[in-house]
Structure 1
Amino acid sequence: MNTTNTHNQILDLKNRMAKAIIGQEHVIEQLLIALLANGHVLMEGLPGLAKTRTIKKLAANLESEFRRIQFTPDLLPSDITGTEIYVGEAEGDKFQFQQGPVFGNLILADEINRAPAKAQSALLEAMEERQVTVSGKTYKLPELFLVLATQNPIEQEGTYPLPEAQMDRFLLHVFVGYSSDDDERKILRLVRGEDAGLKDKEDGKLAEQIVFDARKEVLAVQVAEAVEKYIVAVIAATRRPGDFKDAPFSKWIKIGASPRGTLALDRGARARAWLDGRDTATPDDVKAVAHACLRHRLILTYEAEAEGVTKDTVLDEILKQVAVV
């Protein structure tokens, strides 16, 4: 059982966020899994479901530099990465690099599908290599660097779907749903209190080093050979659905998950086990993170889309069919 001070502080962070984000405990857990696994998150949900609020609350409770990029059709790559500016009075090199908003710790890419591919692609190198290249020069990003993107599943007119290569760079694709009726009443009271200026006493922010220490402990979580085989078997089922001829998903998948999907399942399962206070990941951990890790890595066939089959339905069937050996 993990009883370290680091673990307790991360759980305290989770509790703080749960007080400010009512009815989205699953989303908060997924966000913390991404933070612990050093991966990026794509959050999708209808307007007003606290996607941006959740990300802001995470930033407010961490010693980090929060940057928000509002994606719009006229956004340029240089608006994200930064650009070289001419400095007339500078000695020697008259061009100096001015950092863009991507040079922060927590980057909110709000409504990322509102900008064209040229602007979206400015994040590709940053998300994968943790660096930015401008005019032939490479600039390292901070060690704590997390892209938290949001997109709206409706109002698709005038939007630009993310290319598969960029989707694959997100560790998790998290769906944000409606809260229950009881939670909705709690939201009413919370917002009334905030409007009246009533706020809970704020505790100190969590130091960056706590996150780094937690990540080291997550990397130390053990994964048994049987769990490794289960992870690979789940991924293989997305690539070779024809092997399951009697299963309904055998004709639903056009393209399966990439090796990044395998790594995401491993990292996500270990982070979840650590959050739960365990030093060994189990098949249940893999199942718990499978949808968020894989739903954005699958491309369905025309037949599946015509039948109204969702990617979550496909993953449900895969998890039913693939056995733990």
Structure 2
Amino acid sequence: MYDELIQELLKSLDENLISAGYPKFPGEGYKAHKIDAKNFHEINKSNSDKRIAFVDGGNTEILGSANFSLNLLRICYVVYKNNQKIMSKKFEILAFIQAINDKGEIHYKASFFGLGNSLGLGDISFSSFDHTLMLGVNRAEIGSVANALRRFAELKIAKLISEGKIADVIVLDGNLQATLTNENKYLNELYESCSKNDVILSALSKTTSLFTDNGNLLSVVLMSVSKYASWYYYPIAEISSSNHKAEMFFVRFHKKSKHAFRFEIFNKQKSEAVDAINCLTSNSVDPIFIGYPYGLVEADRIARVSNQERDSLKTIFLVKLRNKNIEKYLNSANAHEILDKISF
């Protein structure tokens, strides 16, 4: 049974690899270009003294129930020049999200409490039926708001880097597409700032789920077609969406890399794309993750919130909330946690 299944799996993947024709984008605003070997360009590694700021964030829920969620957001940037780290900065925020009644509808309102470096996010609110947070037709879970808040905080920090002219190139973890309610507000402010201050704005995705027209993964197809050891692929599509002001590339930064990453640059700066790719290529030689910019590895390490940290903060808050009638709220959402601890 298993051998038959494996043969069918491999056959299906091989057939899709051969027949792939175009990238396939969800929604409107994308005119895909046919996959063509002539769109591969060899990367010519060059030295650059540009300062590159890598931005990433992490978050974890400390306490939560169906109607409130207390989260720690940790955002950082790391600046490299000539492959040497020259500075880094970390921002930590406690985000308290609560369900409220707003004109007869349930909304999730977030308030922020700084742990040293405040970003001035102000109060943020989402409808509990916000389609950018929902899964299926049910009301969004209140904990899902934290991921949106982290994204907004990352964009605010990128703007701080631009305004302070801390770096010549900014690399966000992810992409430049606005997929959340009000995300365009933060992105447009960042675009304006980078244009004003001559700071190149880009983004690199750790993972990608872009398909080809026959259901294969675009990154896998490109890795199979290219004749170059390290390369960038462009053009992929003409993007006219107002929610996605970017030029899109796929990049393999190192000849030994097993990954091709989706790379984007603010569309008004597309003339700077090759230079930005060359800068990132020089930063993608560390064997810890060959072919991936080490600056993003370091930013991820600093921003990541460990389970130990989460549990420590949870203990602190539970001690302070003892005999404060909080347990019945926590019990509304912890049944899975109890079952996970049971050994069968």
Band the TM-score falls in, shorter-chain normalisation? under 0.3
The structure that is helix-richer by fraction is: 1
TM-score by length of 1: 0.23
Bigger share in strand: 2
- The structure number with the bigger radius of gyration is 2
What is the TM-score when the length of structure 2 is the normalising length?
Answer: 0.22
